Amino acid sequence: MLRLPPFQLHNPTNLDDAAKMLADHGGKARLLAGGTDLLPNMKRRHQSAAALIGLRRVEGLRGIRDSGSGETAIGAMTTLTDIVRSELIHAKYPMLWRAVASISSPVLQSTGTIGGNLCLDTRCTYYNQNEEWRESISFCMKEEGQTCWVAPSSPRCWAISASDSAPVLSAIEAKVKLVSAGDGERIIAVRDLFNDDGIDYLKKRPDEVLTEVILPDPSAFKASHWKLRRRGSIDYSVLTVGAAAWFDGDKVQKLNIHLGAVNSYPAVPEKTCEFLIGKILDEETIAEAAGMSRQGSTPMDNTDFLARWRGQMVERYVSAALREIAGLDPGVKKPRHAM
């Protein structure tokens, strides 16, 4: 049986105390939300902490509320189950509902939170093994070693972004609120929450608490979410596509596409996005644009399935997202979890 290492546990009841505790530990503490990622990682000695600061008892971090101006706010400690059961989310943000419904399994959704999913640790075939396995080949760069076993000559870690909610939230231009004891609160775009680095993957400072996700007025855009994994439950994504388009008449005015499980952050196929500006989303245009999506977003051999096949699926799933936005048959099967 894998056991947790020793640590101090704090359970503050208000946000000010939680932020102060985090600052007082000087980067040696971690926030504990649902714990579905952090605690298993600590058991496998992937992550460590002198102290855990639990957020379950902190008031004001749960719930979904309509602001009345078209925006919707989701508390960071709102469980994935509560989001899936929310009629408001299902009606106003079906693309986000689909993304959240795809995460792990119903059991873990009842504990996991939206804030925790956004801050999910990056993953890699060589990193997400037990400690003895990792030690036998020499620890990788993401832990104690000096080598990235995905690309041994690379000076950086290539572990991939594993969050299923991040691509679609980035695409629709959602925001997050971050709070610290020293600097108060700041609001940034979800897409600006991430670094393209498998180790230093979050721009959230160690002393900040992610408190809220702010969703924009959905009447301004059309959006889609598609996910590829081996099974219809439990398994992590090997590709996630979040896309959103703003229109001027029948022509694309602005387009955002973000790809999960391809790079260390929700990657953007920039040529595809630029190509579609001012164009009508018809079958020929979508096919040409989807063909561009593999450039700059080539998967590496660091997760399930062959990297070359996953690269082919980038084109297929970007096409599916764009076709759904255009009101066309997506051309791939709908995920079972969303039926």
Mean pLDDT of the region 245-273:
96
What is the amino acid identity at position 73?
Answer: A
Give Cα 154 distance to the centre of its chain: 24
- Per residue in 304-314, pLDDT (tens digit) is 888 787 888 99
Distance CA 163, CA 170 (A): 11
Of 211-220, 228-237, 329-338, give the range with the top mean pLDDT: 211-220
- DSSP letter for each residue of 16-54: HHHHHHHHHTTT-EEEESS-TTHHHHHHTTSS--SEEEE
CA end-to-end span of the chain: 37
- Per residue in 41-87, pLDDT (tens digit) is 999 898 889 999 999 999 999 999 998 789 999 999 999 999 999 99
pLDDT higher than threshold 70 for residue 335: no
At residue 291, the pLDDT reads: 93
Q: Which of 192, 217, 226 is nearest to 319 (CA)?
A: 226
17-40 in b/e form (b: 16+ CB < 10 A) is ebbbbbbebeeebbbbbbbbbbee
Mean pLDDT of the region 131-144:
89
- Per residue in 75-114, pLDDT (tens digit) is 999 999 999 999 999 999 999 999 999 999 999 999 999 9
- DSSP letter for each residue of 255-313: EEEEEESSSSS-B--HHHHHHHTT-B--HHHHHHHHHHTTTT----SSSSS-HHHHHHH
Cα-based torsion angle of the residue sequence 144, 149, 119, 237 in order, rounded to the nearest 10 degrees: -150
Mean pLDDT of the region 255-277:
95
Judged by average pLDDT, the poorest of 136-150, 187-201, 243-257 is 136-150
> Hey, how many other C-beta atoms are within 10 angstroms of the C-beta on 325?
22
Q: Where are the alpha helices (DSSP H) in the chain?
A: 15-24, 38-43, 80-84, 87-92, 94-101, 106-109, 114-118, 131-136, 165-171, 270-276, 283-292, 307-325
Q: Which of 239, 229, 307 is nearest to 269 (CA)?
A: 239
Distance CA 115, CA 240 (A): 18
CA angle 312, 316, 320 (to 5 degrees): 165
- Per residue in 157-216, pLDDT (tens digit) is 999 999 999 999 999 999 999 999 989 999 999 999 999 999 999 999 999 999 999 999
